[in-house]
């Protein structure tokens, strides 16, 4: 193996640049040529491929987003499209591909491996929704971004005796809401894995008011419903002033935390080692602070288990 390429796919996540840097520098250390692919699988199909060196990844470890840029590519589901992508890599004598992204990106990597391209996947998604790994690149930064918003909203909510409903990302995975809600002292955490009763929430808010609480913070995962609709319902039922704050894509941005930068660097370095060992169709992750790798199919088949114990602790501590 002499040449490898790297791309970032799907939604961006803080720490992707740290992973790109690790892959490039580890590969160069071992005498390999490295090529960057811009705009994910879409860029691969358009041959947006360029050679990278140490300078290509200088001063990017602290930057959010992805210097390679990213894009969705639904047409990659078509087998003929994938064959075209594999041929582009083969024409450039690129032997292997490192893909940073989520489950959809991993599926693309798996299908490319069946066409003779060695592939390794790195988990880059703020949702922390890949069950085979304890944490994904970008998750820690995202929850710290939410924490900063919670602290600011708490100040203004207290000043106005207000109910503040904060909508965070997480369509099918409530980890952002759970971790930030627990750390931020939210009175209620609403996640898709558990669900909620609107009237019970209103009852809890009123009980808190009767006990002297000046404000209420509710953290809502987007997969459960909309913050604006819930705020209106709470206001109508309780008579209290309720406001919605939708954090949106601010959760994707910002410099990676130490945890994300270190995780991304460890995973990126291991990806290159696996390729040099001749491995393919693997993903890298972390379990009990140890770097692990496993078959992509096996990784995607791991059943995700919501941390109900942590949720119960958060609920108890909210009283």
Q: Which of 30, 49, 42 is nearest to 73 (CA)?
A: 42
103 is in an annotated binding site: yes
226 is in an annotated binding site: no
d(CA 204, CA 206): 5
190 touches 315 (CB < 8 A): no
| Angle (deg, nearest 10), helices 139-160 and 175-183 | 50
255 is in an annotated binding site: no
104 is in an annotated binding site: yes
187 is in an annotated binding site: yes
β-sheet bridge partners, residue 209 = none
- Residue 317 is given by DSSP the state H
39 is in an annotated binding site: no
10 is in an annotated binding site: no
Name the token pair of 202.
């209103």
| Angle (deg, nearest 10), helices 198-210 and 227-238 | 50
| b (16+ CB within 10 A) / e for 273-302 | ebbeeebbbbbbbbeeeebbbbebeebbee
126 is in an annotated binding site: yes
102 is in an annotated binding site: yes
243 is in an annotated binding site: yes
Tell me how far CA of residue 278 lies from CA of 24, 95, 99, 154, in angstroms.
18, 11, 16, 52
3-state SS, residue 240: coil
Residue recorded with tokens 């009767």:
210
d(CA 139, CA 267): 15
170 is in an annotated binding site: yes
Q: Which of 127, 175, 260, 293 is catalytic?
A: 127
169 is in an annotated binding site: yes
125 is in an annotated binding site: yes
10 touches 99 (CB < 8 A): no
73 is in an annotated binding site: yes
Please say if 127 is a catalytic residue: yes
69 is in an annotated binding site: no
Indicate which residues carry an active-site annotation: 127
Q: Which residues are annotated as a binding site for Mg(2+)?
A: 103
Binding residues for ATP: 11, 72-73, 102-105
Residues annotated in a binding site for ADP: 21-25, 154, 185-187, 211, 213-215
């Amino acid at each position: 193996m002499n040449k490898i390429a790297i791309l970032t796919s799907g939604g961006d996540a803080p720490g992707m640049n740290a992973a790109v840097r690790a892959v490039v520098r580890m590969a160069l250390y071992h005498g390999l040529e490295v090529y960057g692919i811009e705009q994910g699988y879409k860029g691969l199909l358009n041959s947006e491929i360029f050679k990278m060196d140490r300078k290509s990844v200088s001063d990017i470890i602290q930057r959010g987003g992805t210097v390679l840029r990213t894009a969705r590519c639904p047409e990659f589901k078509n087998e003929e499209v994938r064959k075209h992508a594999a041929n582009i890599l083969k024409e450039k004598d690129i032997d292997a591909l490192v893909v940073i992204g989520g489950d959809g990106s991993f599926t693309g990597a798996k299908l490319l491996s069946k066409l003779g391209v060695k592939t390794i996947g790195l988990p880059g998604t703020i949702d922390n929704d890949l069950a085979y790994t304890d944490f994904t690149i970008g998750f820690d930064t995202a929850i710290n971004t939410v924490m900063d918003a919670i602290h600011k909203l708490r100040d203004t909510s207290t000043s106005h005796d207000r109910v503040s409903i904060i909508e965070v990302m997480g369509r099918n995975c409530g980890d952002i809401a759970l971790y930030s809600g627990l750390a931020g002292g939210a009175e209620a955490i609403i996640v898709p894995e558990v669900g909620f009763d609107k009237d019970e929430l209103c009852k809890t808010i009123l009980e808190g008011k009767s006990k002297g609480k000046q404000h209420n913070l509710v953290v809502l995962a987007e997969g459960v419903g909309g913050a604006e609709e819930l705020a209106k319902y709470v206001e109508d039922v309780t008579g209290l002033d309720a406001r919605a704050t939708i954090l949106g894509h601010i959760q994707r941005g910002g410099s990676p935390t130490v945890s994300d930068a270190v995780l991304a660097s460890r995973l990126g370095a291991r990806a290159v080692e696996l390729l040099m060992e001749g491995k393919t169709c693997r993903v890298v992750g972390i379990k009990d602070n140890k770097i692990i790798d496993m078959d992509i199919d096996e990784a995607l088949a791991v059943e995700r288990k919501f941390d109900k114990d942590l949720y119960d602790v958060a609920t108890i501590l909210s009283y």
